[in-house]
Structure 1
Amino acid sequence: MSQMFFRSRYWGVAARGIAMGAADVVPGVSGGTIAFITGIYQELLDSLSRIGPHTFAILVKDGIAAAWRQINGNFLLALFAGILTSIFSLAKLISFLLHNYPIVVWAFFFGLILASVVPIARRVSRWTWQCWGALILGVALAILVSEMRPTEITATPTTLFFSGALAICAMILPGISGSFILLMIGIYPQVIAAVHQFQLSALVWFAAGAGSGLLLFSRLLSWLMHRFPSVTLSFLVGILLGSLKIVWPWKLATSEMVGLDGDKLAPMMSNVLPAEFASASGHPSYFLGAVAAMMAAVILVLAVEWLSLRHVGNVVQEK
């Protein structure tokens, strides 16, 4: 097992996990998007869907090694090690960048999500009316999520559990951010504080909910991807397109909301053009820097797709 884990493939999987974790820290960017554009989305869904009661039966009958192989354990270990490493080590860096260079950071993620539409749409074999309907439904769902208004709930074991389940379902969908959902229901600050301060009890309840939601929702998504691949992919394309509204770089606060303890919650924001942002806020729009960040993200996604297709082609030739 250890020899398999330290093969170069799993270092690459861990690196993808680090990128997914960094994306998940940002309210508005989904780790599922990173998984898709780096070519591991289907394997992630399939591996998670193998975990269930039958895994325990294999463990009892054939031993740990057989159960580990059945769930693709090396892949999952490498991926989630990367995700957790990123969340605990990069959370402060991402927060710093968002605080000091918000427009450029959001522009990079805008380009990342926009370019991610290309590799997903290419996998739709034929655009039928069902596919177009699924795409419209995906756009509508993402826009509906973007229109949610910030609220606040108390962090109890029950709310942490269900918040974890809801966030992980959103996280695994390309385009919908789990951390954005947490922000909208008002528990994001408590979760981030629990991570920074290592509040073990809160983290355990949140992780239990996330694990439960992940196992159930990944099974559903895996089934949909195998049974209705084109329609499901079209739906994911729609979610990505609709989520662009969430990560638009230039925003102005329209109003503020007050939490249960009197503290101000995240203000309601509206998307504006760069010139309007500069005029209303009195701050520079950083238009050129934002465009450069968007282009860098687009080039990055297309380069990753090209390398992935080249790798698949080489594997096919070797066989």
Structure 2
Amino acid sequence: MHMNNKLKNNLTIILKGFIIGSSMSVPGVSGGTMAILLGIYDRLISSISNFLKDFKGNLLFLIKFCVGAAAGIGSLAFLIKWLLEKFPIPVSFFFLGAVIGGIPALYKKTKESSFKVSSVIYFLVGLVLVISIGFIPIGNFNISSGSGFVHYFMILVAGIIIALALVLPGISTSHMLLILGMYDSTLLAITNFDIAYIGVLGISTVIGIFLITKPIEWTLNNFPHQTYCMIIGFVLGSTSEIFKDKIIPALPVEANMSWWISSALISIVTFVLGYYAINSLSHFSND
């Protein structure tokens, strides 16, 4: 029985890592958002923040999670990208349903016993913050330009900013790369095997993750109600990017009534499927 529970727990961690990895290519669905919705976020933060306190246990957990995430990125991410290109509206509504489906589990974590005005304020702060990031003009910054020490120092700074996007729910890493003017140069560095660029960016991102997780864990432990109210705002705010980047551009200028009816019905079905898929998975929490 103990062996079966251990195997089930290991497979659950890998599966959640797989889902998080595969969904990171979806605009508006950040890794942090999916980790929150799947009930593994607290455990991830704790494992990184207290890495040396239980070195073996935390290392094994992170390895299992990373194996699943790498498999998701290397397999389903390409399928999701293809589906988003071919069927942007129903697929986008599936992910909208997935985001909304995780809200009940998040609400339970706020331990809200009665309505409070302060809860609404924290929620609105998170909502406005994430939506505002989505409206930062792309192309105003170009951190990856230049050469020499300054060039790599700016990449180091960018890595820490990217870590913030990776760890905080609702903030898209790909969008942050675009804002920093690093999206194309990062893809080019990967395809050209630019070890110096990738190495500095990778190391700085890891450093950033370790720096950020400690204060996040502290706020989760000391102010869980306020933090989760704000996280709900983060998560709901992230849906604006799905509308802005995928749903609205996919709407035809001219379409007959039958197209609108069929699209609406299919989108409702995919939304419901996404809702129940994440709502079901969120019950299997590792926290």
TM-score bucket of the superposed structures, by smaller chain: 0.7 to 0.9
**Contact 1:24/1:171 (CA < 8 Å) preserved in 2?**
no
- 1:87 and 2:76 equivalent? no
- 1:135 and 2:123 equivalent? yes
- 1:153 and 2:147 equivalent? no
**Paired residue for 1:301, among 275, 278, 283?**
278
In structure 1, what residue type is equivalent to 2:91?
Answer: V
| Secondary structure of the structure 2 residue equivalent to 1:25 | coil
Quote how far apart the aligned CAs of 1:218 are. Answer: 1.1
**Contact 2:143/2:180 (CA < 8 Å) preserved in 1?**
no
Q: 1:172 to 1:86 in 2, by over 3 A?
A: same
**Contact 2:131/2:240 (CA < 8 Å) preserved in 1?**
yes
**Contact 1:224/1:232 (CA < 8 Å) preserved in 2?**
yes
**Contact 1:47/1:76 (CA < 8 Å) preserved in 2?**
yes
Quote how far apart the aligned CAs of 1:250 are. Answer: 2.1
> Structure 1 residue runs of 4+, over 6 Å off?
none
> Deviation digits for residues 119-140 of structure 1, max 9, x if unmatched?
1012211253332221110011
* TM-score when normalising by structure 2: 0.82
* Structure-1 residue corresponding to 2:177: 182
**Contact 1:27/1:183 (CA < 8 Å) preserved in 2?**
no
CA–CA distance in 1 between the matches of 2:80 and 2:189?
Answer: 17
Quote how far apart the aligned CAs of 1:197 are. Answer: 5.5
- 1:290 and 2:267 equivalent? yes
**Contact 1:26/1:179 (CA < 8 Å) preserved in 2?**
no
Q: 1:100 to 1:206 in 2, by over 3 A?
A: farther
* Structure-1 residue corresponding to 2:9: 9
Q: 1:159 to 1:124 in 2, by over 3 A?
A: same
- Higher alpha-carbon deviation: 159-168 or 294-303: 159-168
**Contact 2:143/2:158 (CA < 8 Å) preserved in 1?**
no
Q: 1:299 to 1:218 in 2, by over 3 A?
A: same
Tell me which of the two structures has the higher relative contact order, counting C-alpha pairs closer than 8 angstroms and 6 or more residues apart: 2
| Secondary structure of the structure 2 residue equivalent to 1:73 | helix
* Structure-2 residue corresponding to 1:279: 253
CA–CA distance in 2 between the matches of 1:46 and 1:146?
Answer: 28
**Paired residue for 2:227, among 232, 251, 272?**
232
CA–CA distance in 2 between the matches of 1:208 and 1:124?
Answer: 34
> Deviation digits for residues 190-211 of structure 1, max 9, x if unmatched?
3344445654333222211210
**Contact 1:37/1:119 (CA < 8 Å) preserved in 2?**
yes
Quote how far apart the aligned CAs of 1:216 are. Answer: 1.2
Quote how far apart the aligned CAs of 1:293 are. Answer: 1.8
In structure 1, what residue type is equivalent to 2:119?
Answer: C
**Contact 1:13/1:78 (CA < 8 Å) preserved in 2?**
yes
* Structure-1 residue corresponding to 2:248: 251
Matched length? 268
Q: 1:158 to 1:95 in 2, by over 3 A?
A: farther
Quote how far apart the aligned CAs of 1:34 are. Answer: 1.7
CA–CA distance in 2 between the matches of 1:32 and 1:241?
Answer: 13
* Structure-2 residue corresponding to 1:34: 34
CA–CA distance in 1 between the matches of 2:55 and 2:242?
Answer: 41
In structure 2, what residue type is equivalent to 1:35?
Answer: A
* Structure-2 residue corresponding to 1:271: none
Identity %: 24
Q: 1:303 to 1:90 in 2, by over 3 A?
A: closer
Q: 1:99 to 1:161 in 2, by over 3 A?
A: farther
